Chains A and B, each alone.
Chain A
Amino acid sequence: MAKIHYNPDACIACNTCVAQCPVAAVNADFPGPRITGPASQRFRIMGNIDEETLHFCANCKNCDISCPHNVPISAFNMIARAEFTKKNPFSLRDWMLSHGALLGRKLGLVPAWLRNVGMLNPLTRRLLDMLGISASAPLPQFAAQTFKQRMRTYPQPASQRKVALFPGCYIDLYDPQTGLDLVWLLNKAGYEVIVPNNFDCCGLPMVANGFMEDARANARSNWAELSSWCAKGIPVLTACPSCNLMFNRDLAEYFPEIATGTAALRDAQEFVLECVERGELALPAPDPQAQPMLYHAPCHLRAQGLGLPGLSLLQAVFGKAVRNADAGCCGISGSYGFKKENYGIAQSIGQPLFETITKSGVALTTSECGTCRVQIMHGTGKPCLHPLSLVRRRLELQH
């Protein structure tokens, strides 16, 4: 792996990141981002460090969001984790959690109900628990058909204006309906949606679990595919904040040799907002009867510097009925909160959000990220939908 030497000396030791790290806030054994990131990096450069507490980092990016000096703190942690994974015994659990797309493909021949029975029955959960996946963790259920399968027969009006879609593993395997809601909205805005076959998992779960070389392989083929669509002038969208973060920010940090040129994945919510701006999609006036709902901003979205376009869309069609919960990280961080040793940490981190939702009395919550939604439903018992699904509902009701 190419050695990337970011300069840890950009850190002025102000401790802002420590104050904002959700894991450090609930777990007193984690020294926090300043120490595991820039401060340890100096010792890593000298080859002299034990990585005793590195596993605590959830890769949630709140440190990066808060740092006044753009220190690539979480990247320090993830690159160090990759080195650590290389030198230490192989974890089947971490491999499974980070290679969901591959597992999904292999299991694809088995019907979903059987896969779900297989994965979610108490016996399997006990087995998974023994492997280190908490029996209490809210593992998502496989959909009967993947998003890609459903798109093969989904009728779309042909159009000269085309966009391509990077569904991401979550929508593809577990939540095809959100993907279809996006397609519905894009069709309505006059676009035909292509779902390219050659995209693979974005690789973020691999990075978070220390499998940097696997992530590199995915990055290479994904970036080539992305570049080819962009070269044709066809925008490539994703509704998943983490995939977008991986393509547009993390790849440049980990694999600068791959993420070259001007190709970029686009945030689907931002794209839909632009459709509205261009007059391609008409939104109804805010519904005065809309039931109150709370929006949760995924950390991986906040880390991107593009604001909260999903919330803007929701506010456009639901007005003041939708509010930003603004109660911090939900705790799950992809597969982090599924792990036995992290499950408790993840629940404690999410507590303020769960309480905010419960106390508000809303019956409905919304967030872009698939695993945030799973965690919110687990923590509050309230449904949590993707903003695009709610926008579609509102548009359908209008007719």
Chain B
Amino acid sequence: MNSNSDVLVVGSGPAGLFAALVAAQRGKTVRIVTQGAGSLAICGSNIDVLGYAQGQRIDEAPWAAIAQLAPEHPYSLVGEHSIRSALHCISALCAKAGSPLSHADEEKNTLVPSIVGTLKPSWLCPASAQGNSLLAARRVLVAGIEGFKDCHPALVARQLKRYPELKQASFQTVNLIMPPQPRKRTLSPLDVARFVDSPEGLAWLCRSLRPYASTADVLVLPPVCGIEHSGSVMATLGKEVHCPVVEMLSIPPAVGGLRLRAILCRELAALGVNIVENATIVRAETAGKQCLALISKGTGGERRYTAKHIIIATGGILGGGLNMSPTAAQESIFGIELPLPEVIEDRSQEAVFGDHYFTRMGVQVNADLCPVGADGAVLFNNVHFVGRALGGYDYATEKSGLGVAFATGWAAAHKV
């Protein structure tokens, strides 16, 4: 079977879904082929743009630091206009879906607490976070949920207190008790968020938090404020509880990314974008500098997908877009060789957030996001790489994951 479209996107992580959406909004026929649900199913909904540069936390506008990034960094390649447009576009989508995102301040990063009590500089956060209300607070309530293995309010409070920004604040902690108690599995934020999506769940959360509104300036919670209805949950909390609520970043199964995923998927369905799920692209047919078709493996044999333009959003090692063995590193569809330090020890460093080769490893591209070889020459004119498949950045250290995914997705959708 041969299927044709203007644009073919491989991968359904944030970069692929967003690139497909923007291309479809621009009137292109788009098809997505993907294996797996992509990392939105496990990541947070805070859109990081740039949290650290040269080891320094960026509290103010990240734009000056972005301008200083190396020329091969994806941000340098797509430019500030693409980054801003992408963020504007995703904000508009979330607002339209009733789950608005907001900045702390038009031109500042927001410090978001994590479930282990660290502060992460991020850019767009669920609007309920009401900017840096945590930092402005004198009295902080950290609430966990009875039965959560991964969130200990006392630990979070102790850790947060170590930050100079929160030295003056007083902390109280509580464990809320969710009425429906699972019997055979450990409670996760996902369970609570799903409960809170229901009217009973929302009423429970309002009832549980209200008593603290008079004794705290901010309520810090795990990400439990709904998934499908997170927008109206946040709005109701605002009306009923009268105290800003800040959600902590949590570990998978996470909630925030699922919110974004639901919004993107709904919009894609409305735009008539077809998604071919559970299909792995196994190879490419190329002629000179053109990719003619991608071949997938599914039931009953192979299928051939043709398109004028191809966007590769297959992620890194985790997503399956890059492969590394002791002797070689390759991009997984076209087999583009990635330079690899000879000595294994040189591929990583001792410090966890050190300058590792493997976390920056990825496909090198030009300003059109087309892959280039070691000599800088374009490999394929109609293939554009986006998201974590790209080299030249380290999202975990920089805190730039969703920012790069959306900015490059937006830029690629404008090249097709």
Contacts and interface: CB of A to CB of B under 8 A. Distances in A.
Interface of A: 12, 14-16, 18-20, 24-25, 28-32, 35, 52-53, 64-70, 244-245, 247-249, 264-267, 270, 273-274, 277, 302-309, 311-312, 315, 320, 323-324, 326, 352
Interface residues of B, number: 49
Contact of B278 (A28, A30, A65, A352): A65
Interface of B: 1-3, 31, 33, 35-39, 41-42, 180-185, 190-191, 194, 228, 252-254, 258, 265-266, 269-270, 272, 274-280, 296-301, 303, 315, 318-320
21 contacts: A12-B318, A18-B190, A19-B190, A29-B182, A29-B183, A29-B184, A29-B185, A31-B185, A32-B185, A35-B185, A65-B277, A66-B41, A68-B35, A68-B37, A244-B299, A244-B300, A305-B280, A306-B276, A306-B299, A307-B33, A326-B265
B12 to A, nearest CB: 10
Contact of B258 (A19, A30, A31, A304): A19
B388 to A, nearest CB: 12
Contacts of A302: 277-278
A305 B277 contact: yes
B95 to A, nearest CB: 21
Given A24-B185, A244-B299, A264-B301, 8 more contacts: A14-B318, A16-B253, A65-B278, A264-B300, A266-B300, A273-B1, A305-B298, A308-B274
Contact of B272 (A19, A25, A247, A320): A320
A307 B300 contact: no
Given A304-B298, A320-B272, A52 B278 contact: no
A309 B298 CA distance: 13
Contacts of B279: 305-307
Contacts of A28: 180-185, 191
B42 A19 contact: yes
A305 B296 contact: yes
A248 B278 CA distance: 13
A32 B269 CA distance: 27
Nearest to B320: A68
Contacts of A247: 299
B274 A307 contact: yes
B300 A265 contact: yes
A259 B126 CA distance: 50
A303 B275 CA distance: 12
Nearest to A271: B1
Given A19-B42, A264-B301, A30 B184 contact: yes
A31 B269 contact: no
Contacts of B320: 68-69
A305 B276 contact: yes
Contacts of A266: 300
